[in-house]
Amino acid sequence: MMKTVQTTRLKFNIRISGSSDGVPLLLLHGSHATSRWWEPFFSILPDSIRAVAPDLRGCGQSTHSQDGYEIEEQAEDIAELVQELSLSDFDIAGHGSGGAIAIEFALGHPQQLRSLILIDSVPIEGAFTPLQGLQLLAQMQEDRSLLKQGLSALIPTAPPPTMTGKEFESFFEQLVDDAAAMAPAAFTAVAEALGRWNRAEDAHRLTLPTLLLLGTEDIIVERDAATRSLLAIPGAANLEILRGVGHSPMIESPVVLAERIIDFITEDFESFEEARDYAQDHPSSAGETRKPE
């Protein structure tokens, strides 16, 4: 289901899955993406989870603007959306740059959350993109071939077992269309904002339960960077390693990702038993790096 929500800051387009009385889970996509990236993940979630995925500022059908892309500002965008949707005691998950927004929201509004889930996330100290990289991102606005190459690098092990090759080809073209239609400023503004964002000194305040996940084939987020986040965040007990998965497990391995998240947020989802069995029978299983005792 899709829905439009108007706040005082912007208009949000959101995708919703699950029953209205399900366990609330808010999902934040990464750079050059939209809520569409969560569709493969939505398709195997049990109805017992109420998953809400917005198009972030400048993306999809949410408000396109020339500014407002600082991580702190986007976290306030989310705060108003949460208020408008009357969400409380919910779990928040952020992918890539969405992880930084989730961290920022958790620091500012910890009382509203049950847990924090970081999926191949920008590390706690932010991420610097050199000038050459910013120029490449800007070039993607006009060069569809280059844009396709960039998005392909984010999902190197696709298609997932839940899609045929033909289905994935059609889905991927939609992802490219979405990225090409982003607000022009958003192509580089988020990367620039991540270069100014650093919460390493505030990480000690992240005491709520935190799950970190990282694909072994992720060429965007380095294992050392994810480990630094693990060590810095008191609420994080371990780093779950998704073997044979790249930067975007919600597309590349949605069943395995759902298994890990559901294991984390609840212990009693009988309706997910079949998906759990499927994940256990496939090789993209997770190992883990634990925080030293």
Tens digits of pLDDT across the chain (293 residues): 999 999 999 999 999 999 999 999 999 999 999 999 999 999 999 999 999 999 999 999 999 999 999 999 999 999 999 999 999 999 999 999 999 999 999 999 999 999 999 999 999 999 999 999 999 999 999 999 999 999 999 999 999 988 999 999 999 999 999 999 999 999 999 999 999 999 999 999 999 999 999 999 999 999 999 999 999 999 998 999 999 999 999 999 999 999 999 999 985 444 445 554 554 455 444 456 767 66
Q: Which domain holds residue 132?
A: 2-290
Q: How far apart are CA 198 and CA 195, in angstroms?
A: 8
Q: What is the pTM of this model?
A: 0.93
Amino acid at site 45: L
Element containing residue 4 per DSSP (H, E): strand 2-6
Question: Tell me, what's the pLDDT at 246?
Answer: 98
Beta-carbon contacts of residue 65 (< 8 Å; ≥ 6 apart): 10, 57, 58, 183, 185
Q: How far apart are CA 255 and CA 253, in angstroms?
A: 6
Question: Tell me, what's the pLDDT at 167?
Answer: 96
For the chain, the domain total comes to 1
Where residue 27 sits, what CATH number does that domain have?
3.40.50.1820
Question: Tell me, what's the pLDDT at 267?
Answer: 56
Q: Is 122 exposed, middle or buried (0-12, 13-18, 19+ CB in 10 A)?
A: buried
Element containing residue 13 per DSSP (H, E): strand 11-17
Element containing residue 277 per DSSP (H, E): helix 273-280
The answer to whether 122 and 222 have CB atoms below 8 angstroms apart is: no
Neighbouring C-beta atoms of residue 1, cutoff 10 Å: 8
The answer to whether 93 and 113 have CB atoms below 8 angstroms apart is: no
